[in-house]
Amino acid sequence: MFAVVYHGPGKLGLEKRTKPTIQAPTDALVRVTHTTICGTDLAILQGGVATVDNGRIIGHEGVGVVEAVGGSVTHFKPGDRVLISCITACGHCPQCRRGLPSNCASGGWILGNTIDGCQAEYVRVPYADNGLHPIPASVSDEVALMLSDIVPTGLEVGVMNGDVQFGDVVAIVGAGPVGLAALLAVQFFSPSQVIVVDIDEHRLALAQRLGATATINNRDGEARVRILALTNGRGVDTAIEAVGHPLTCKLVQEIIGVGGTIANIGVYSQSAELYKQSLWVKNITIRMGVVNTTTIPLLLQTIQGGKLDPSPLITHRLPFTDALRAYDIFANAAREQAVKIVLRMGEAQVDGERLLTEAALVDLIVDRVMARVVSRGCGRSPDRATTSHQREVTHDLDD
């Protein structure tokens, strides 16, 4: 099978790898139909995630079809269409029992991190009964794919950790995939204002379409002043940080109002300052963490009920053969106007060491058929023999 493999900072390959097998009775083997690239994958590529070894198949977001299950998997069987959670959970360790599968003693975020992940034609999913979710017939694969990580993260780590209440004023700093997912999820709680801050006009325009009441391009560094103006100097009730940078961390601290909650989603690769000298008098709460993905079943129901549509987050659809180009697009998101890039499997077939796109596959079939035609001594040059060539193709494919 083919997979996206990490080989140290800046080095990524689309390579042939051995198809994974069931290793434990709780495992499932899933044939991936759709996968996508996460900001965390870019952090890995930049060498920012120390736990990822050279040779690791990366990716932690995927949907697919169950190919095989271990002996103790009871909820899934081969042929089931499933959504793969980015979080692996044993279900019985102390953290799982406390409702924190994100920190499962033998799981958590391990897919595409400490074990091989989803950017491959097949993936082994440990504790499949907990890590897989059946996809209802009315929900498409690519919409379900948005629930592997980003929508639950926006909801759980942004909106729910941010304790958003009806009528609240909310700011979302960072309109990347997860910030925009938080914008979708915050609408469940009917906030009176949702102010979205970014420096990418395309993403801000999308935020406006997804329900932001105000958008601020902070290229001029004036977001603090403008948010305080929009809130009569009071600041916001919930500030969701969805970037992971010291400057955005500072901004959410500057705009949080009395009694407010800062919810940190951003993943930091460097330390960021906490300005306690100005925060302590404001009786605020700061929360952060990794998504538990416990809301996936409810989110699937919400999509079925027509109350949530994550599909506007998908800006690009590419065949898996173009995975490395997809990384380039995602790494230049502002230039490419990219949010979520869906990589589709099943549009390519493997020929020896080569992975072929549909067009290349047609060329290959034509080449092979023409080689046979010529070797049978019909004497015609391939490029002049269109009619006979078509007939031969039909005949040979019927063999």
- The site for Zn ion (CB under 5 A) is made up of 38, 90, 93, 96, 104, 149
Please say which residue, 5 or 89, places its beta carbon nearer to Zn ion.
Answer: 89
Residue 138: other Cβ atoms inside 10 A: 10
CB 313, min distance to Zn ion, A: 12
Please say which residue, 147 or 195, places its beta carbon nearer to Zn ion.
Answer: 147
Contacts with 161 (C-beta within 8 Å, 6 or more apart), sequence order: 261, 263, 287, 288, 289
Which tokens sit at 304?
A: 């079925």
CB 291, min distance to Zn ion, A: 9
Please say which residue, 181 or 195, places its beta carbon nearer to Zn ion.
Answer: 181
CB 194, min distance to Zn ion, A: 23
Please say which residue, 130 or 261, places its beta carbon nearer to Zn ion.
Answer: 130
Please say which residue, 133 or 224, places its beta carbon nearer to Zn ion.
Answer: 133
Please say which residue, 130 or 238, places its beta carbon nearer to Zn ion.
Answer: 130
Please say which residue, 46 or 138, places its beta carbon nearer to Zn ion.
Answer: 46
CB 22, min distance to Zn ion, A: 20
CB 176, min distance to Zn ion, A: 11
Q: Are 45 and 6 in contact (CB under 8 A)?
A: yes
CB 240, min distance to Zn ion, A: 17
Q: CB nearest Zn ion: which residue?
A: 38
Rounded to 5°, the CA angle 381-387-389 comes to 55
Please say which residue, 93 or 331, places its beta carbon nearer to Zn ion.
Answer: 93
Q: In the beta sheet, which residues pair with residue 16?
A: 2
Q: 314-319 and 56-57 as β-strands: parallel, antiparallel, unpaired?
A: unpaired
Q: In the beta sheet, which residues pair with residue 172?
A: 196, 240
CB 40, min distance to Zn ion, A: 5
Contacts with 301 (C-beta within 8 Å, 6 or more apart), sequence order: none
